[in-house]
Structure 1
Amino acid sequence: MKGLLLNQYYAVEKSFWWYMPLSLVAALVFVYFENRMFQWAAVLFPLAFMASVAIEVLKHEAKSGWSKFVLTLPVKRDRVVQSHYLFFILISSVGLVILGIQFIISEYLLGITLGPGHVYNIMNGLGIVFTLGFITYPLTYILGTEKAETILMIGVGAGIGLYFLSAFLYNLLFSGVQGNVDLLFSLSFMLMTLILFIISYIVSIQVYKRKEF
C-alpha cells in the first residue's frame, strides 16, 4: 500500500506543490472580499484544487501505462482501488490544512473574523469533494483512464449541481424547521455525500476486479 501511495504522490508531486500555495493565495483573496459568494469560493477552491490533484493521478497512470503494469505486480486489484481512494482522502485533507492556515492568517493578520458560516461552507465544500470522488473513480474504471480529464470535469459539475439541487430540495421540504437550518443542511449534505463516497468505493472494487485491460 505504501508503495502505491508513494507512486501516486511522485506522479503528481509538481502539481501538489504548485496547487498548495496557489489555493492558499486564492482563498485569502476571496476572503478579503467579505461577500457571501466569495466566502464560499474561499473554501471551495482549496478543497477542489487539492482533490483535483488526487484525480490527476489517474491521467498520469494512463499516459505512463502504470494502470496496466501494476496488474503484473503481486498486488490485489482491490488494493489498487483502495490506494486511489485513500490518496484522494489524504490529498483532500491537505485542503483542510490550507483552510486552517487561511483561518489563522485571516484572523490574526488581516483582522477578518470568519464566523460559523465559514464552517458551514467547509462542510458544503467537503460534500462537493466527496461527490467529485464518488463519481470520478467508478466512471474512470468503467470508461478508462484515458478519459479521466473529461470525467473530472463531469465530477466537478455534478458536485456543484448536487449541492444546489440539495439546497433547493431542503428549503422546499424543511422551510418550517426550527433551529439552525444552515447547520442542519450542511451537516446532512456532507454526511449524505460521504455515504455515497463509501458506496462508490465498494462499487469501484467490483468494477475494477472485472475490468479487462
Structure 2
Amino acid sequence: MFATMVITTISYDEVDKWDMYALTMPVTRQEMVVSKYLVMIIVNSLGGMFALIVGFIGAVIMRQTFFTEIAAMIGFIYIITYNLGSTMIPLIYKFETEKARLMLMFCALIPTALIFYIAQMDISLPGIDNAWVYVGLLIGLTVVGLIISINASLKIYQKKEF
C-alpha cells in the first residue's frame, strides 16, 4: 500500500494540472522530479518501519522468536518497493498514470512468470549459505536502478510540455 502512494500523488497531480502551476513558481523541473523520489523514499521507509513494529509486536504476542525471518522478509519487500517505484515513475512521466498502471501489470507479470518457469525446470536456486552476497548484490542493483530511473525521469520531464 505504501509503495503505491507515489503513483497516487502523481495521478492527483495530473488530474489537478499541478505541474503546470508549480512550474510557474521558483521550482525547477529537476526539483519536481526529485521530490517524487523523496516522497517514495520517505513513504517506503515509513511503511518498512510500520511493518517492523507490527512484526515485532506480533512476535512478542505469539511468544515466538522468528523476528529475524520477519525482518528479512520486510527488508526484501522494502527493496521490491524501490524497484517498483523506480520502474513506475519514468513510465508515468512518459505515458501518464493510466497507461503506466497497465504497464505495471506487465512489469510484475514478467518476473513472476520467470520465477515460475525456473521453478518448473528444477533449476537450483541460490542457497542460504552465501545469502549476504545476494543481499549485497540486490541492494547494489536497486541503487543502480534508482539512479538510472532518476536520470530517465529527468530527461523525460525536461522534454515534457504542460
TM-score by length of 2: 0.80
Offset, 1:83: 0.3
The change in CA–CA distance for 1:166 and 1:82 in structure 2 (over 3 A counts) is farther
Percent identity, please. 23
Aligned match of 2:147: 198
Partner of residue 100 from structure 1, selected from 33, 43, 52: 52
1:162 maps to which residue? 111
Report deviation, 1:186. 4.1
1:63 aligned to which of 15, 21, 41? 15
Give, in whole Å, the separation in 2 of the partners of 1:190 and 1:165.
20
1:62 Cα deviation after fit:
1.0
Q: Return 5+ residue gaps in structure 2 as ranges.
A: none
Corresponding residue of 2:38: 86
Is the aligned partner of 1:132 residue 2:81? Answer: no
SS at match of 1:51: helix
**What is the aligned partner in structure 2 of residue 112 from structure 1?**
64
Task: Give the Å deviation of 1:117.
Answer: 3.1
Residue ranges of structure 1 left out of the alignment (5+ in a row): 1-48
1:160 deviates by 6.7
Match of residue 39 from structure 1 = none
How far apart in 1 are the matches of 2:33 and 2:59? 40
- What is the TM-score normalised by the length of structure 1? 0.63
Higher relative contact order (CA 8 A, sep 6+): 2
1:143 correspondence with 2:95:
yes
Distance 2:161 2:151 in 1: 18
RMSD: 2.9
**Post-superposition CA distance 1:95-120 (Å, at most 9, x none):** 11111211221122232332443333
